[in-house]
Homo-oligomer: A and B are copies of this chain.
């Protein structure tokens, strides 16, 4: 386990020194919900505010020039991180906004354009989607009369592609899928699915919330049209997300939010719009947050995404192995490391996840319990909720051991009495 110096990484995250419920070391295993932030990200934001703060793209004075340059440099960093062109990176407030942006923009598209969705068209999602990549499509389907159809999941937590060709049929205009499930840890075979999508000429939207933070993602290699992810899950600040889209698509799509800084000309009657990314960034942007995200990307690059991935794979493997030794425990999701990320969901016979999570919290271990914003998936697997441990670069084997010991203690606490 020497891909990089994990204890040096831990030292960069001040919150890891916190004591929980009295005197317990914080064992943070909830990075799938939101990651912690290194000092360098906080410093980048502070430096922006104390040295360069002004409205980017809106002033000719020195601070405004500097703010513009630093903000655009952050865009450049994010673009390079995912192998994109700089103008293909749109800053949003979150992955949720990114996906809604695409769905609303499609909904705004004129009849006859390739984005227009109408009754008879089909939108395809999957049973393992986070609500953020499900409900916007339900709503778009409702508004347009299109049909919402989905790929199922198999009992071992994989996407069922056996009927993919029937589901992704000629009527299909959009396929919206998650890159990695935030519950199961499953990584979906995007290039394979892309073939079905391309065959029918549909648009492919990828929810990359759980992939971009954890392993190298290159949009040129993924054969998709849009990807969405959040800054706060990849060491960045809250309040910033990213939509990447192919330039020729972004430049043709109708805008979503309208207002200042995204217009070409405006009269009282109507307005015309700038090309992407500005077209989709109405208003004074979330400058400090974009800058913080740029610093997060610098941090991840300094460690190296390949090493981070290796580290997480080893930890996850250990985590699954050790948890599986607890007789009452059932892993929900794949138990092999083939196409699998560092998210481990499980149930414990006779103990509700809420109670388990509460006990773990008492020992300083932060996990997520509940439906994980993937309620249909819970119903599919006939569980009310699961307990989820999610790993990141600052976790180590001691954290995994703490989890396992914690689960055993909790079990004995509830079932032993």
Q: Tell me the minimal C-beta distance from A320 to chain B in angstroms.
A: 21
A18 neighbours in B (Cβ, 8 Å):
51, 63
Residue contact B104 to A93, C-beta cutoff 8 Å: no
In the complex, A203 has a CB within 8 A of chain B? no
Residue contact B61 to A366, C-beta cutoff 8 Å: yes
Q: Tell me the minimal C-beta distance from A273 to chain B in angstroms.
A: 9
Q: Which of B238, B256, B361 contacts A285 (CB 8 A)?
A: B238
A282 neighbours in B (Cβ, 8 Å):
96, 100, 132
In the complex, A195 has a CB within 8 A of chain B? no
**Distance between Cα atoms of A370 and B265 in the complex (Å):** 13
Residue contact A130 to B270, C-beta cutoff 8 Å: no
Of A42-50, A173-181, A333-341, the one contacting chain B is A42-50
Residue contact B15 to A257, C-beta cutoff 8 Å: no
**Distance between Cα atoms of A99 and B150 in the complex (Å):** 34
Residue contact A61 to B367, C-beta cutoff 8 Å: yes
In the complex, A189 has a CB within 8 A of chain B? no
**Distance between Cα atoms of A52 and B37 in the complex (Å):** 11
In the complex, A408 has a CB within 8 A of chain B? no
In the complex, A259 has a CB within 8 A of chain B? yes
In the complex, A342 has a CB within 8 A of chain B? no
Using known A-B contacts A14-B50, A53-B34, determine if residue A94 contacts B283 with beta carbons closer than 8 Å: yes
Query: B-contacting residues of A (Cβ < 8 Å)?
Result: 14-15, 18, 20-21, 26, 28, 30, 33-34, 36-37, 42, 45-46, 49-55, 58-64, 93-97, 99-100, 104, 108, 127, 130-136, 138-139, 142-143, 148, 150, 230, 232, 237-240, 255-261, 263, 265-271, 282-289, 354, 357-358, 360-361, 365-370, 373, 375-376, 379
A36 neighbours in B (Cβ, 8 Å):
49, 53
Q: Which of B58, B263, B376 contacts A135 (CB 8 A)?
A: B263
Q: Tell me the minimal C-beta distance from A371 to chain B in angstroms.
A: 8
Beyond A93-B283, A266-B376, 20 additional contacts (C-beta under 8 Å) are A15-B49, A15-B50, A33-B58, A34-B53, A42-B45, A42-B50, A59-B368, A59-B369, A61-B367, A94-B283, A96-B259, A96-B282, A99-B259, A100-B256, A131-B260, A131-B263, A132-B260, A134-B268, A232-B284, A238-B284
Residue contact B62 to A239, C-beta cutoff 8 Å: no
For this chain, the copies found in one complex come to 2
- Of all A-B residue pairs in the complex, the 5 with the closest CB atoms, nearest first, are A96-B283, A239-B286, A132-B259, A260-B373, A239-B239
A interface secondary structure, majority: mixed
A239 neighbours in B (Cβ, 8 Å):
93, 237, 239-240, 286-289
A284 neighbours in B (Cβ, 8 Å):
33-34, 94, 96, 230, 232, 238
Q: Tell me the minimal C-beta distance from A370 to chain B in angstroms.
A: 7
**Distance between Cα atoms of A30 and B370 in the complex (Å):** 47
Q: Tell me the minimal C-beta distance from A152 to chain B in angstroms.
A: 10
Q: Which of B20, B62, B358 contacts A21 (CB 8 A)?
A: B62
A62 neighbours in B (Cβ, 8 Å):
20-21, 361, 366
Which of A30, A127, A133, A373 has the most chain B CB atoms inside 10 A of its CB?
Answer: A373
A288 neighbours in B (Cβ, 8 Å):
237-239
Using known A-B contacts A64-B366, A286-B239, determine if residue A33 contacts B59 with beta carbons closer than 8 Å: yes
Chain A to chain B contacts (Cβ below 8 Å), 5 pairs: A15-B49, A46-B46, A96-B259, A130-B259, A238-B288
CB-nearest residue of chain B to A266: B375
A96 neighbours in B (Cβ, 8 Å):
257, 259-260, 282-284
Residue contact A58 to B370, C-beta cutoff 8 Å: yes
A366 neighbours in B (Cβ, 8 Å):
54, 59, 61-64
A269 neighbours in B (Cβ, 8 Å):
138, 148
**Distance between Cα atoms of A269 and B267 in the complex (Å):** 41
A134 neighbours in B (Cβ, 8 Å):
266, 268, 271
